[in-house]
Amino acid sequence: MKARVRILDVYSGRYTVFINENDAKNAKLHPDDLVRIEAGKKTVYGSVAISGVVGEGEIGVSRDVLGLHNFSEGEIVNVMPSGIPESVRYIKKKMHGEKLRKVEIEAIVKDIVDRKLRDIEISSFVTSLEINGLDMDEIAALTVAMAETGDMLDIDRKPIMDVHSIGGVPGNKTNILVVPIVAAAGLTIPKTSSRAITSAAGTADVVEVFADVSFSLDEIKRIVEKIGACLVWGGALNLAPADDITIKSERALSIDPTGLMLASIMSKKYAMGSQYVLIDIPTGKGVKVETVDQARALARDFIELGKRLGQYVEVAVTYGGQPIGHTVGPALEAREALSTLMTGKGPGSLIEKATGLAGILLEMGGAAPSGMGKKMAREILESGKAWEKMREIIEEQGGNPDIKPEEIPIGDKTYTFTASTSGYVTAIDNRAVTGIAKAAGAPEDKGAGIELHVKVGEKVKEGDPLFTVHAESEARLDQAIVLARRTEPIRIEGMVLQRIGNI
């Protein structure tokens, strides 16, 4: 049928088009059917919503559909049922545990990017990968397909370094220190980051507190070729666009399939032209990878995938048994990271991990002799050179380079939990900490999160503060308090753990 475009000030997040009930009945269209919209030589796909907000002969176009094509108000377009794409059959094949061929994977990725697959079908694909996995042939094919369906960046400054943490540890603002340290040593490190998937704050969520993170490829190229670094959100770019679509399903399902994680990370590195890639795999109870053996197996996968892509990959297996630093949540982490860069001093766990990772990159890129990278990284941090480089990054990304950490607003609705007994902190539950910070509103509410007053191994007395929850609303604070009381994220025990008498 032919229809007049009516632009609606609605963001559905599902690429929805709105059709009048009578038009839908005549065209045999039903809610959530996929339709093809032809405008000249351009074809766009959308999911049907039947609504009285549009009249007969009109098609209401949501703001997210406008991101696919810049329709004009009143423009005449052809609207017709799309039918089920062939890629759905390939998704069912993977649901049954069968191996996918390269062409089948390419078809799925292309249909994801073209929005020919609806959310339910994308979620089915993600779930099938969580249950049945991918072998290395499939992962390599998926990685290249995800990269080549988007834009590719070509930066003149070489060599190009990159670092990525697979996440899972609360408070992991490490790369906000690593990037300026490495760039201050003269290496090039264009860092793209995702927003939080299962955590309370991704690197992009934290940086967005004090600088812009959404840039075009041309803008990133200009920034990086000028100062050697950036800290930006990959989702604002057309880099491996299928990744940003599948992440929505992963976030909704709270899963992160290993094969998809590998492809997600490495497709962005491939698209950015990264030559030397360092992967950080935090390991410990309550994170994605709980044992060193699992970490080593995953490391081998990253290294093998890098070889297939023509990249040199090293992996750092890092301690992930408790949160990094003392803060969890975008604004709180931004304060802590900037304060550490500004003074060269900060939480031992944050500085130790950041200089360790930066040191490996300095050695990989030839800026430091073998075995001397960490020492050099620490000198760059303590000398103030890393802070000067961060000020350049902030300024180039539209922020205030003279920002003071204490000027960053944090949630003013607070509640502090105290120790109910004296003893030693024997464990901090990563999952519980993340859950509480998310219940408080993080990462969407930038000021929400948790401030930890103790770490594992520290001695506490009854009544000492353990952690403070920050929220931007009383309702969110109440939710976080209820969850914290139920999960008890910090365990305190005396030196005598158990008394056993005569049996």
Question: 176: which residues sit within 8 A by CB, 6+ positions away?
Answer: 203, 206, 207, 231, 333, 334, 337, 338, 341, 390
Phi first, then psi: give them for residue 283, nearest 5 degrees: -135, 135
416 is in an annotated binding site: no
Please, what is the Cα angle at 424 between 423 and 429, to 5 degrees? 125
For residue 486, what are the CA distances in angstroms to 195, 425, 490?
27, 18, 12
Question: 430: which residues sit within 8 A by CB, 6+ positions away?
Answer: 168, 169, 170, 284, 285, 286, 287, 320, 321, 322, 323
194 is in an annotated binding site: yes
Per the annotation, the verdict on 256 as an active-site residue is yes
Tokens linked to 137: 């042939």
Q: Distance between terminal CA atoms of the chain?
A: 84
383 is in an annotated binding site: no
168 is in an annotated binding site: yes
Which one of the listed residues 23, 33, 244, 256 is annotated catalytic?
A: 256
Cα gap 476→354, rounded to integer Å? 32
197 is in an annotated binding site: yes
Write out the E strands in 284-373: 312-319, 327-328
The one-letter amino acid code at 455 reads K
Tokens linked to 45: 């796909």
283 is in an annotated binding site: no
With CA atoms as reference, report the closest residue to 90 among 62, 61, 111: 111
487 is in an annotated binding site: no
Q: Find the helix or strand (DSSP H, E) in which 283 lies.
A: strand 276-283
On whether the CB atoms of residues 209 and 411 are closer than 8 A, the answer is no
Which residues participate in the annotated binding site?
168, 194-199, 203, 264, 288
Catalytic residues: 256
Instruction: Show binding-site residues for AMP.
Output: 168, 194-199, 203, 264, 288
